[in-house]
Amino acid sequence: MNETNSISGNKYICDSPLPKGLKKTIMNIKVCGITEMKQLQQLDGLDIDFAGLIFYPESPRYVGDKLPKKDVKKADFDLKKVGVFVNPELIDVLDAIDDYGLQVVQLHGDESPEICDDLSGEVEVIKAFRISGNEDIDKLVTPYDAVCDYYLFDTGGLQESLGGTGKQFDWNILKNAKIEKPFFLSGGISVSDAAKIKAFRHPDFFGVDINSRFETEPGVKDMSKVLQFKMALK
């Protein structure tokens, strides 16, 4: 795990003791599926914490050649650029880290702890888990405990969940799990879920991941909705 960079610089809302220098504040927000440089700049201007670039070719939000690599790499953003991959080859992830200046990698498939470990010396690592409702959460995450910086829990049960279903799983499955690592909630979150998010309690709850419910079309975000959501979480 990249201990030097882990969590530092981001807002932290967990109830458990906070790392030195961090204060309880508003929810961390990750906006995933960005395909336009202008929108990346707008998210930074809105003080969004993480922006996800999807490197999964089967996703309708696949970054492909839509974003200029050099411009993304040299951009002086406060937000963290997250590369999202599904069962990738290690060399492809390393190339993307270098080409785009990624600070974080999200592994959203069936990746092993070993590939997380290989990447953890280069960037922060988010391991995503697709939840259908019957999982033993602690058993699921334990093999990744030493090699990841964050977890992300998304809706599972369907093949298309690799690219996002726009549907929610029952967050209550997480309440009795120890987890013991900062995690994001993901899957079908919309502006109308702000109150539900604020009411959700877990000592390691770190942030939310939003995507399809904030779009005008795949890969194009409605920034007014993003801003509305951010304000509603305060």
pLDDT at 185 over 90: yes
- Bridge partners of 54, per DSSP, are 62, 84
Q: Which of 9-13, 17-21, 155-159, 190-194 has the lowest mean pLDDT?
A: 17-21
Torsion of CA 186, 211, 30, 61, to 10 degrees: 120
**Count of C-beta atoms within a 10 Å radius of residue 48:** 24
Q: DSSP label at 123? A: S
C-alpha separations of 46 from 90, 139, 184, 215, 225 in Å: 33, 37, 19, 16, 12
Q: Are 190 and 213 in contact (CB under 8 A)?
A: yes
pLDDT one-digit tens code per residue, 67-111: 999 999 999 999 999 999 999 999 999 999 999 999 999 999 999
Query: What are residue 206's phi and psi, to 5 degrees?
Result: -110, -35
pTM listed for this prediction: 0.89
pLDDT at 123 over 60: yes
pLDDT at 9 over 70: no
**Nearest of 153, 141, 169, 162 to residue 206 by alpha carbon:** 153
pLDDT at 11 over 60: no
Average pLDDT, the chain: 89
pLDDT one-digit tens code per residue, 197-229: 999 999 999 999 999 999 999 999 999 999 999
Q: Which of 6-15, 160-169, 211-220 has the lowest mean pLDDT?
A: 6-15
Pick the CATH number of 28-232 from 3.20.20.70, 3.90.1150.10, 3.30.70.80, 3.40.50.1860: 3.20.20.70
Q: How wide is the angle at C-alpha 90 spanned by C-alphas 89 and 93, nearest 5°?
A: 95
